[in-house]
Amino acid sequence: MVNKSEQPYKAKANLSVLFGDDEDTPKNFIPLEAISLPAKQPRRYFDDRSMQSLVDSIKINGVLQPILVRPIGEDRYELVAGERRYRGAKTVGLKEIPVVIRELTEEQAFKIALVENLQREDLNPIEETEATLELLAIQLSSSTDAVTKLLYSMKNDVARKKDNVILQPEAETIVKAFDELSSMGWESFATNRLPLLKLPEEILEALRQGKIEYTKARAIAQIKDPEARVELLELAIAEGLSLKEIKKRVAEIKKATESETDPDAENEDEETDENGEKPDKKDKPESLKSEMNKVYNALKKSKVWKDKNKQDQLQKILDDMESLLNEE
């Protein structure tokens, strides 16, 4: 069964509906050197075999479908959609490329790029997640971190109140954006996609730079030992290991790690000091986890639920804890 977090979006919006039909728009040829790539791009990974196939086609037939650009200065343009064709044309050595020129804002341009890739299912789940957050951040004039926290807060509100939730303007913008953008609702996105951003940082960075495929990265991320994980990641990138080879190595590493580990050492309630050593049990303070459980049990029986002011204070503490978890 395919995990929900790995299922691709199905873009609801289509480019002609959102931004007009390009069929009657004049096609122009402009120099490749006059085109710049945008600072923010939904897609970062390009499959080598797929790109080579496109390059071979361009060598024979040229670029058949124009790319979409927007003017950013005198005789300068920024790519909006069609990066594979742009890269293929550069690889072949073409001097010019057919384009459709459109006056677009940064938000419109990014939305077109995202929708185009979602329609073709070209983005991996990490790219989809980060691109969606970027788009929402642009629409809200905010940061992706703030958008992430807002999504978790919205999710908590719905979980607590079940229905009749009154949305703030920012939340309404998010709901509307998901209604226009894809068949995946904002709640599903918050539940299944945002947790992907908690993958180990070196894994995320390799994905962001397009150095490795998503499925391979997820397999490597299963390794808990940081050094072993980084070593396999670098090897997979350098030697182009297949997914089958990676899974085999992951299994070997996990088996070796388990054989070296004392079964009692994996009790997650056990604390260790900064050097990874277990403190002497007679000197061991009550764990923070146990304290949290005690507070939680006491809260359930407390009269605090009858005091509106105290409820508001608890809500703030809960939101702070949620934000702390999101920063992991």
CATH number, domain containing residue 90:
3.90.1530.30
How is residue 217 written in tokens?
């990265």
What mean pLDDT comes out for the span 190-200? 87
Task: Look at the chain and report how many structural domains it folds into.
Answer: 3
Burial class (CB in 10 A: 0-12, 13-18, 19+), 177: middle
Do 225 and 253 belong to one domain?
Answer: yes
What mean pLDDT comes out for the span 74-102? 93
pLDDT at 296: 75
What mean pLDDT comes out for the span 131-139? 86
Residue type, 105: T
Does residue 328 have a pLDDT over 60? no
* Strand 76-81 relative to strand 96-101, pairing: unpaired
pLDDT at 165: 54
Q: Which of 146-155, 158-167, 307-316 has the highest mean pLDDT?
A: 146-155
Q: Tell me if 223 is assigned to some domain.
A: yes
Does residue 10 have a pLDDT over 60? no
Q: Tell me if 235 is assigned to some domain.
A: yes
Q: Tell me if 49 is assigned to some domain.
A: yes
Distance CA 204, CA 133 (A): 15
Do 55 and 97 belong to one domain?
Answer: yes
Which letter does DSSP use for residue 142 in this model? Answer: S
Distance CA 187, CA 303 (A): 32
Q: Tell me if 327 is assigned to some domain.
A: no
What mean pLDDT comes out for the span 105-124? 76
Q: Tell me if 37 is assigned to some domain.
A: yes
Q: Tell me if 165 is assigned to some domain.
A: yes
Give 11-28 pLDDT, tens digit per residue: 555 555 444 444 555 578
pLDDT at 265: 44
Does residue 58 have a pLDDT over 70? yes
User: At which of 75, 104, 133 does a domain end?
Assistant: 104
CA dihedral (174, 178, 184, 189) in degrees, to 10, reads -20
Round the average pLDDT of the chain to a whole number and report it: 78
* Domain membership of residue 210 as a residue range: 199-259
